[in-house]
Amino acid sequence: MSYHLLQKILFAMDAERSHIAALNGLKFLHRLHFNPFPNTIKDMHCNLMGLPIPNPVGLAAGLDKNGDYIDALSALGFGFIEIGTVTPKPQEGNPKPRLFRIPQHQAVLNRMGFNNQGIDYLINNVKKAKYSGVLGINIGKNATTPIENATDDYIYCLDRAYNFASYITINISSPNTKNLRTLQGEDELNNLLGKLKKRQTELSEKFEKYVPMAVKIAPDVDENQIIAMAQAIRHHNIDGVIATNTTIDKSSLGEHKLSNENGGLSGRPLTEKSNTVLKLLATHLNNDEHQKTIPIIGVGGIMSGSDVAEKLNNGAQAIQLYTGLIYRGPQLVPESIIAAAQHLKK
Ligand SMILES: Cc1cc2nc3c(=O)[nH]c(=O)nc-3n(C[C@H](O)[C@H](O)[C@H](O)COP(=O)(O)O)c2cc1C
């Protein structure tokens, strides 16, 4: 069945139900050893935060929040996979409806609110998965944890995820957890990163292996905030940055009825905003040729191979996909890999 037809069926369903149906369908096909893209480029020998990856096209966080679909998703050809956001305790997330498609804009609006089964459940899934590639675990805080105690939740998840992750993402940029984005403020960020770096060092000694840590940032930041974040990231020797999460700016939706709803917007309306942040971040983070480059993973509004090329041209070392997969289907993965291969050949 073509994705066009499948999309018609999926789009006729409620967005959250169709998300689960699509993932369960993918898992079913994977069990039947269905290989959708047998001719995808096998290994481009790339590197991300010191980790070898076959290609720089990754799955963004939030699609597989609990690590229930790791093996099925890896069969699509991703060079790396990020699961989560996961919190210490399981939580329901925000009341439904909380996920909306906006096809006229090739966009999604979500206010899921870190619905997840908790870190223990996720780790159990990671242990069961056969996937041996690069796996990022994206961590956050529970909604009931006061923002002043957010560090405790990140440390809790870091401790449990460390030995099972290829890298850890510190998510401080979801718009759907109250006050989370205040952690991007200069003092708050320095405080959080200082403590997490210290714990990473202790854990690397305990487990005798170094697991890199990346920070995921929002697109709703100005240049001064980007400069402050870049300084903090460098100062604390953070291994990578993921730019960006969804935007709270819905002006691009015009008069659309969802433009007044709470939540984060992703897909086509995010492309330009996310690219602006990426470009500024690359300029301010990696402006000293005597210092090692801190890799940036570009995510936000990639709907085609040419969007991949643009992210890489703007200073991303790797990219991640989410909303593009909903509108373009799994075919976007090989298309992105080919675009990345052409970019690297240049
Ligand atoms: C439904 C949905 C849920 C998401 N959940 C998370 C999440 O739990 N953690 C996170 O870091 N990002 C989450 N994101 C953000 C994506 O990882 C990505 O940064 C964002 O959607 C921009 O990329 P895109 O335009 O390709 O979708 C979510 C996005 C969507 C659409």
The CATH code of domain 36-345 reads 3.20.20.70
pLDDT at 187: 96
Alpha-carbon span 233 to 187, nearest angstrom: 12
Q: Residue 16 above 80 pLDDT? A: yes
Query: What's the CA-to-centroid distance between 289 and ligand 1, angstroms?
Result: 32
pLDDT of residue 37 exceeding 90, the answer is no
Lowest pLDDT segment from 10-14, 139-143, 146-150, 228-232:
10-14
Concerning whether 259 is annotated as a catalytic residue, the answer is: no
33-37 LR contacts (CB < 8 Å, sep 24+) = 34/75, 35/75, 36/75, 36/76, 36/330, 37/76, 37/77, 37/330, 37/333, 37/334
Instruction: Please check the confidence at residue 161 and state whether its pLDDT lies above 90.
Output: yes
- Annotated active-site residue in 174, 252, 266, 274: 174
Q: Rounded to whole angstroms, how far apart are CA atoms 67 and 82?
A: 9
d(CA 304, CA 313): 15
Is 308 touching ligand 1 by the criterion CB < 6 Å?
no
Q: What does residue 98 show for φ and ψ, rounded to 5 degrees?
A: -145, 5
In angstroms, the first-to-last Cα distance of the chain is 36
The answer to whether residue 270 scores a pLDDT higher than 90 is: yes
**What residue owns the CA closest to ligand 1's atom 18?**
245
Mean pLDDT across 166-183:
97
Residue nearest to atom 21 of ligand 1 (CA): 266
Please indicate whether residue 65, judged by its CB atom, sits closer than 6 Å to ligand 1. Answer: yes
| 108 Cβ inside 6 Å of ligand 1 | yes
Residue 103 clears pLDDT 90, i.e. is over it: yes
Q: Is the CB of 110 under 6 A from ligand 1?
A: yes
Ligand 1 centroid to Cα of residue 60, in Å, is 6
Domain ranges (residues) in the chain: 36-345
Tell me if 137 CB under 6 Å of ligand 1.
no
Q: What is the pLDDT of residue 1?
A: 67
Which of 94, 154, 245, 307 for a ligand 1 pocket mutation test, highest count of atoms within 8 Å of Cβ? 245
Stated as kind and residue range, the H or E segment containing 46 is strand 46-48
- Kindly state the percentage of the chain with pLDDT values over 90: 94
> What are phi and psi for residue 220, nearest 5 degrees?
-90, 60
Confidence of residue 4 (pLDDT cuts 50, 70, 90): confident
Average pLDDT over residues 102-121: 98
Per-residue model confidence (pLDDT) at position 112: 98
Q: Report CA torsion sign: 200, 155, 62, 230.
A: negative
pLDDT 10s digits, 137-148: 999 999 999 999
pLDDT digits (tens, 9 = 90+) for 195-208: 999 999 999 999 99
3-state secondary structure of 164: helix
For residue 266 and ligand 1, the question of a CB distance below 6 A is answered with yes
CB 91 within 8 A of CB 142: yes
Say how far apart CA 89 and CA 153 lie, in whole Å. Answer: 9
Distance (Å) of CA 302 to CA 19, 56, 271, 314: 19, 13, 7, 13
Point out the ligand 1 atom lying closest to the alpha carbon of residue 302.
Answer: 26
Average pLDDT, the chain: 96
Cis omega (within 30 of 0) on the bond before 334?
A: no
Q: How far apart are CA 169 and CA 213, in angstroms?
A: 6
Mean pLDDT, rounded, for 247-275: 97
Measured between alpha carbons, how far is residue 174 from residues 54, 288, 336 in Å? Answer: 29, 30, 25
The predicted structure's pLDDT at residue 191: 98
Torsional class of 280: left (φ above 0), alpha (ψ -120 to 50), beta (otherwise): alpha
Q: Which pLDDT score, from 0 to 100, does residue 35 have?
A: 85
